[in-house]
């Protein structure tokens, strides 16, 4: 890709209301643009990374036997009245009327819709278990939208729902999904802690949250210094210095960003909405459900928070928007342009995703932009171009070497 054609509107200054580093950087790097409070446009590079996260999620969930579908964002109130949540959900639910004055909402979550899909098509244990997920825009009129993509009023979520004939089978799937989530967040370059949590608005029996440890996190995590005990403070009520309920060790507290969570819903929705099946003994039973979310836009934000300094992003391997950034220092110098162009073509021909900074900008501003865009491998084509040499920089370890352009493939 030629950088002159890429729409990546980097900024000198972050918006005034950007309180956290990742929000400042995502705006300055031209990844997102605020459209209204808590509502963002994902610009091309930001959206490219969103799609990478989505595809990692797809790979890991498909591998454990889940299938992707797409439910409507616009949901009729009838379903929400059946589950009893039309009255319970409160002002976070974005409600609207159609031209015939019928009530609708913009989905903040999809338990009602998926339960309706499954109850109409599955009626025997022979068709269970089943795992269905979607990647969808969610709407929640949050009281305090803030920190950019961290708490939006419109955001991208992956939501998975599983249906089972027994608690034991749900337990097996709960573990499988937990492992898939560990893989997903590892591949996104995130260090996570799994913590026990309350079931909250969604309801259910048991729940865990996937937390990225970070100063800017809105949740407080309590964890044991001596064993693996970890819980959301909302759930455990523990304070720093308390005794661990499992082993008696000392409890510590830290801040975390919730990037995902998993719930054992049990029969909450299947009972109220009549999602029943015939079991092996011919009895009619309510399906046992699990639900599992990942905040995709929030995961992007958490990744920037973890992989950046105030002026530079360094994308983890699987999220990087391009493999290599080529920067000719002086675009008026013919030797530099020629060499940069030939390396560009060679790398493209070898299947690399390459960004070539062909813009007529000062070198200083090119490097600043390159730091913001965050590609891990950089090839700087400068004065040594006359001898066929370029500077090769691996930003992961800071190693900078002068190499012959002919050897470039070896270095990459």
User: Pick from 62, 142, 323, 361: which binds ligand ATP (CB under 6 A)?
Assistant: 142
Stretch that binds ligand ATP, among 64-72, 182-190, 259-267, 382-390 (CB under 6 A): 259-267
Kindly state whether residue 258 participates in binding ligand ATP, applying the rule CB under 6 A. Answer: yes
C-alpha dist (Å) from residue 189 to 96, 183, 194, 300: 39, 10, 16, 10
Query: Least distance in Å: CB of 141 to ligand ATP?
Result: 10
Under the binding rule (CB under 6 A), the answer on residue 112 touching ligand ATP is: no
Q: Give the C-alpha separation, 273 to 365, whole Å.
A: 59
Helix H segments across 35-134? 44-63, 77-83, 85-88, 111-121
Helical axes 44-63 vs 167-187, angle rounded to 10°: 140
DSSP 227-272: SS-EEEHHHH---TTPBPTTT--BEEEEEEEEEEEEEEEETHHHHH
Binding residue count for ligand ATP, defined by CB under 6 A: 16
Selected range binding ligand ATP among 65-73, 147-155, 236-244, 403-411, rule: CB under 6 A: 147-155
Which range of residues in 47-55, 253-261, 274-282, 399-407 is near ligand ATP by CB under 6 A? 253-261
Q: How far, in Å, are 72, 75, 155, 263, 291 from residue 140 at the CA level? A: 15, 13, 8, 19, 18
> Closer CB to ligand ATP, residue 107 or residue 382?
107
Segment 275-314, which members bind ligand ATP (CB under 6 A)?
293, 295, 297-298
Residue 35 or 404: the one with the smaller Cβ distance to ligand ATP is 35
Q: Distance between CA atoms of 321 and 376, rounded to whole angstroms? A: 10
Give the whole-angstrom CA distance, residue 303 versus residue 372. Answer: 14
Is residue 151 at the binding interface for ligand ATP, with CB under 6 A as the rule?
A: yes
Of the residues 93, 259, 347, 370, which one makes contact with ligand ATP according to CB under 6 A: 259
Residue 351, strand partner residues: none
Contact with ligand ATP (CB under 6 A): which of 23, 28, 110, 140?
Answer: 140
**Contact between 111 and ligand ATP per CB under 6 A:** no
Choosing from 46, 131, 148, 260, the residue that interacts with ligand ATP (CB under 6 A) is 260
337-396 residues near ligand ATP, rule: CB under 6 A? none
Of residues 162 through 221, those in contact with ligand ATP by CB under 6 A are 200
- What is the DSSP-derived secondary structure letter of residue 73? S
Q: What would you measure as the largest C-alpha separation in the chain, in angstroms?
A: 82
Question: What is the contact surface with ligand ATP in residues (CB under 6 A)?
Answer: 109, 140, 142, 151-152, 155, 157, 200, 258-261, 293, 295, 297-298
């Amino acid at each position: 890709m030629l950088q002159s054609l890429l729409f990546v509107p980097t900024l000198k200054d972050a918006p005034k209301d950007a309180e956290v580093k990742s929000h400042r950087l995502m705006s300055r790097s031209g990844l997102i643009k605020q459209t209204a409070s808590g509502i963002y446009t994902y610009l091309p590079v930001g959206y490219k990374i969103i799609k990478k996260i989505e595809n990692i999620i797809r790979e890991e969930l498909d591998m454990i036997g889940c299938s992707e579908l797409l439910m409507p964002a616009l949901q009729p109130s009838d379903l929400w009245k059946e589950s009893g949540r039309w009255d319970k959900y409160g002002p976070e639910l974005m409600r609207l009327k159609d031209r015939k004055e019928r009530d609708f909402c913009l989905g903040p979550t999809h338990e009602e819709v998926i339960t309706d899909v499954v109850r109409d098509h599955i009626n025997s244990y022979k068709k269970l278990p089943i795992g269905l997920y979607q990647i969808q825009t969610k709407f929640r009129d949050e009281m305090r939208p803030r920190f950019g993509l961290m708490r939006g009023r419109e955001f991208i979520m992956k939501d998975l729902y599983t249906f089972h004939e027994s608690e034991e089978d749900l337990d097996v799937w709960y573990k499988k999904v937990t492992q898939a989530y560990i893989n997903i967040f590892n591949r996104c370059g995130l260090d996570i802690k799994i913590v026990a949590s309350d079931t909250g608005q969604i309801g259910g029996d048991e729940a865990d949250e996937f937390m990225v440890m970070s100063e800017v996190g809105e949740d407080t995590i309590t964890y044991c210094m001596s064993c693996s005990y970890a819980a959301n403070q909302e759930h455990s009520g523990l304070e720093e210095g308390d005794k661990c309920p499992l082993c008696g060790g000392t409890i510590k507290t830290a801040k975390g960003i919730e990037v995902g969570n998993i719930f054992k819903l049990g029969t909450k929705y299947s009972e109220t909405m009549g999602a029943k099946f015939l079991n092996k003994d011919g009895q009619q039973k309510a399906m046992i459900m699990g639900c599992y979310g990942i905040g995709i836009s929030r995961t992007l934000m958490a990744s920037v928070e973890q992989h950046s300094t105030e002026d530079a992003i360094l994308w983890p391997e699987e999220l990087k928007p391009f493999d290599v950034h080529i920067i000719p220092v002086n675009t008026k110098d013919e030797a530099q342009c020629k060499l940069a162009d030939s390396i560009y073509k060679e790398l493209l021909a070898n299947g690399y995703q390459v960004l070539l900074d062909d813009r007529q900008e000062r070198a200083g501003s090119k490097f600043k932009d390159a730091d913001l865009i965050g590609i891990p491998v950089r090839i700087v084509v400068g004065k040594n171009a006359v001898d066929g040499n370029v500077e090769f920089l691996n930003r992961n370890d800071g190693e900078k070497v002068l190499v012959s352009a002919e050897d470039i493939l070896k270095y990459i």
